[in-house]
Amino acid sequence: MIKQILGRLPKKPPKSAESREFSDGASNGLMLSSSASSRSGSLPGNKAIISNKYPPAGTLKPNGNSYEALPSFRDVPSSEKQSLLIRKLNLCCVVFDFRDPTMNVKEKEIKRQTLLELVDYVTSANGKFAENVLQEIVKMVSINLFRAATTLSHENKVLEALDSEEEEPVMDPAWPHLQVVYEFFLRFVASPETDPKVAKRYMDHSFILKLLDLFDSEDPRERDYLKTILHRIYGRFMVHRPFIRKAINNIFYQFIFETEKHNGIAELLEILGSIINGFALPLKEEHKLFLVRVLIPLHKPKCIQMYHQQLSYCIMQFIEKDCKLADIVIRGLLKYWPVTNSSKEVMFLGEVEEVLEATQPAEFQRCIVLLFRQIARCMNSFHFQVAERALFLWSNDHVENLIKQNRKVILPIIFPALERNTRGHWNQAVRSLTLNVRKIFSDQDPELFEECLQKFQENEGKEEEIHLKHEARWKSLQEIAASKSYN
């Protein structure tokens, strides 16, 4: 109800984009059919606003007479197809308000059919696009896709504050049109007829930044298209690669250290996973800094479960390329280890196991003490899933072999945790797993096991002695206090 009321209120128009002139030049084109996901989601309501940067070819009159369907490409000679293409692109520059399904029904259908014709045309293009055509394509895409995201985000925050119980977002009725625009743009970017040397003049840094802003969309279908398109742009426009990486880093910095709120982190990490996979060896210092300053701190936000799978993949790509980075990653995980979030702690333990699988003995030895102090704390956790996940590390053959090679360092660290679990953990499964791990150490090195047991018993006796002294001291203080009060 609140959303419906606010939806009727007049909204502040967005600031106009910077004006930019286009110059004449060469061409660009594309191929590729997208199989973007049709998952359901939500997108902020689309406004019938056209950016000042790309003024439309014509405005829509109230009676709709100025918005008529254009001839099909099959009905005109080849010499007129380019001119018709530009007219169709201009026709699609008019943006309708889809919140009212009864408004401009005929015009909306004309635009949808025209967009579908454009998709077919770009897919079957057999010649380089002229530069004026390329300019019109970027203009049409920009007008339809760049929809004042900052204003919409602010409105979403207000709605969340007023109606926090309503979790299901409102679906954007404009998506059937937006999807065709995205499909058109994807095929255009991937087409072999698109010349990146010419297209970079129009798909410039400003364009890429606005495209990245769209990743904060609530609609997973839109983010899926954006992911595929940005990856294609990164692959074909080599001149933009450093800028794209830097711009994505800035999004991550803002997410980690300021807002902790962004809908497209998983998709951006998925793109980066593919990019990292292509890094040449030896790794550049810039790329190692990206691991330390961006990927590892991404473990800090509370909502890590939304993108942990993609984040873990990116980190493993680094370790597989340079195994010496395993120590840095493990120390980073320990730095951001959760204290009160058990589900997050289980994820961290899973990632630790994955990292240890790719860790060599030399790197493992550098972080043994810090790592197994934390694992010992997890083994004693009252949350049975955390304790179980820590004890499951011994089920991994590679990890068990690393532990076996370094048992003289590891067993003294974790032995007290094993004994406490054996004697008093509330969960039967945790006690059983603990007994299995205890038996592994006992079979591998009985002398070391007995030595640790004796030391534990000695420390236990000392702790009991200290405890008795404290109790005696408190008792004497209570007696003194009672005698003084009696006197």
Cα 222 vs. chain centroid, distance in angstroms?
14
Cα 24 vs. chain centroid, distance in angstroms?
38
Mean pLDDT comparison of 5-9, 46-50, 133-137, 457-461, highest-scoring range? 133-137
Categorize the per-residue pLDDT at 171 as very low, low, confident or very high, splitting at 50, 70 and 90. Answer: low
Q: What is the mean pLDDT of residues 342-357?
A: 96
**CA distances (Å), 209 to each of 47, 142, 213, 243, in order?**
20, 12, 6, 9
Q: What pLDDT is stored for residue 240 in this prediction?
A: 95
Q: CA 88, CA 69: separation in Å to the nearest integer? A: 9
The verdict on 182 and 66 lying in the same domain is yes
269 domain-assigned? no
pLDDT-wise least confident of 16-30, 132-146, 210-224, 264-278: 16-30
3 domain-assigned? no
Scan for tokens 């001149």, then name that residue: 239
The verdict on 223 and 367 lying in the same domain is no
- For position 436, which CATH number holds? 1.25.40
Which residue did the predictor score with more confidence, 105 or 178? Answer: 178
- For position 155, which CATH number holds? 1.25.10.10
Please name the residues in contact with 60: beta carbons below 8 A apart, sequence gap of 6 or more: 66, 67, 94, 104, 107
pLDDT-wise least confident of 15-19, 63-67, 340-344: 15-19
Q: How many CA atoms lie within 13 A of 474 on its CB side?
A: 6
The verdict on 356 and 223 lying in the same domain is no
Q: Into how many domains does the chain fold?
A: 2
Which residue did the predictor score with more confidence, 59 or 236? Answer: 236
**CA distances (Å), 202 to each of 57, 122, 197, 228, 383, in order?**
18, 18, 10, 19, 55
Q: What is the mean pLDDT of residues 32-58?
A: 37
Q: What pLDDT is stored for residue 235 in this prediction?
A: 93
Expressed as residue numbers, the domain containing 337 is 323-444
**CA distances (Å), 72 to each of 118, 119, 172, 184, 302, in order?**
10, 13, 29, 17, 53
Which residue did the predictor score with more confidence, 172 or 174? Answer: 174
Q: What pLDDT is stored for residue 161 in this prediction?
A: 38
Categorize the per-residue pLDDT at 175 as very low, low, confident or very high, splitting at 50, 70 and 90. Answer: confident
247 domain-assigned? no
184 domain-assigned? yes
Cis preceding-peptide flag for 282 (omega within 30 of 0): yes
For residue 35, give the amino acid letter.
Answer: S
The verdict on 224 and 348 lying in the same domain is no
pLDDT-wise least confident of 168-172, 295-299, 315-319, 365-369: 168-172
Judged against a pLDDT cut of 80, whether residue 158 lies above it is answered with no
362 domain-assigned? yes
The verdict on 227 and 123 lying in the same domain is yes
Which of 217, 236, 255 is a domain's end point? 236
Per-position DSSP letters for 257-314, written without gaps between them? III---TTHHHHHHHHHHHHHTPPSSPPHHHHHHIIIIITGGGSSTTGGGTHHHHHHH
Categorize the per-residue pLDDT at 155 as very low, low, confident or very high, splitting at 50, 70 and 90. Answer: very low
Cα 77 vs. chain centroid, distance in angstroms?
48
224 domain-assigned? yes
Helix axes 407-424, 446-486, angle to 10 degrees: 50
Give helix then strand counts, H and E, for the chain: 22, 0
Scan for tokens 């004697």, then name that residue: 423
